[in-house]
A = this chain, B = another copy of it.
């Protein structure tokens, strides 16, 4: 059932039927009712390919997915997707994943933009002076960044959580508990989220006159194994930390395992705080010792990003506004006063 047939059946022109369905004003309300009614009855749905060709609008949002034999997609992605999908569903928005060579995403972004495959894209895991953002800005393809870049000379729309504030708060708590040697097991420090977290902790330590030194910082992909290794190496230092701030629950698993291996107990010997993105399948309160966390639902972020993207697509939002969410500090049993 296509427009032509429907128009024929109603003894109207395609123009009128199209307008009636799309809510244009120049059509009699009575006529519109007839059309809408007939459309529903015959289950008419405009062919998206045709509509897209005519309007240039795709009704889809895009994401360029870095791939490669040695590239692992972040497990957070799936949680983010839950939120995004949940909102997108209610608006009949589909999501297009365009796989790209991890070290050349630009080509794919250009292709996606040139093809007008999607109405907007979102960008995740930004780095300082992120090339993708500059590119999208230049290409004029609507976009939204999950996270923030730095050092760009133009404003761009984004949604981020207050990573610096979160780790500042967590650091401050530890400092207040008397800790001075606080280590940071961070994620990939070429990404801004990691930079902000380090900054937050540094600021908290500075208050008590302590400087966050390089040996106290580890940075690596968020795997259990990396958490383990970082912890082992930190505790081999001459002046080992008495507290650890860790950028993810997954790494947190490794941290706990390492401490256990070394016969150290949480929180008596070591205090531990981790960032929690709120996975349904791994919860900080279920760690051997309930884990204190900085918590922010990545799923909620996904939903909000979908909402804003939809707004941008329909023209309701068009300023490059940035939105930064506060992060909860949730204190549980894994922190205590510094040992003497």
State the A residues within 8 Å of B (CB).
Answer: 45, 47-50, 52-53, 58, 60, 65, 67-69, 71-75, 77-79, 81-82, 85-86, 88-89, 93-101, 111, 114-117, 221-225, 228, 250, 253-254, 257, 260, 279-283, 286, 288
Contacts and interface: CB of A to CB of B under 8 A. Distances in A.
Contact of A99 (B48, B52, B95): B95
Given A81-B73, A95-B97, A99-B95, A67 B49 contact: no
Contact of A225 (B53, B79, B111, B286): B286
Contact of A79 (B52, B73, B82, B222): B73
A94 B99 CA distance: 7
25 contacts: A45-B111, A47-B53, A49-B53, A49-B58, A50-B53, A53-B53, A60-B96, A65-B85, A68-B86, A69-B86, A72-B281, A75-B75, A77-B81, A85-B97, A93-B99, A95-B98, A95-B99, A96-B96, A223-B282, A224-B281, A224-B282, A225-B281, A225-B283, A225-B286, A228-B286
Contacts of A77: 78, 81
Given A99-B85, A280-B72, A281-B75, A254 B60 contact: no
Given A49-B58, A65-B81, A95-B96, 17 more contacts: A47-B53, A48-B117, A49-B116, A60-B96, A67-B88, A69-B86, A73-B78, A75-B281, A78-B78, A86-B99, A93-B99, A94-B98, A96-B97, A222-B281, A224-B282, A250-B282, A254-B286
A78 B63 CA distance: 14
Question: How many protomers of this protein does the assembly include?
Answer: 2
Question: Is chain A's interface secondary structure helix, strand, loop, or mixed overall?
Answer: mixed
A67 B97 CA distance: 17
Contacts of A72: 82, 280-281
9 nearest CB pairs, A to B? A89-B99, A85-B99, A223-B281, A67-B85, A95-B97, A72-B280, A49-B53, A49-B52, A78-B78
A105 to B, nearest CB: 11
A39 to B, nearest CB: 14
A58 to B, nearest CB: 8
Contacts of A49: 49, 52-53, 58, 115-116
Contact of A286 (B67, B221, B257, B279): B257
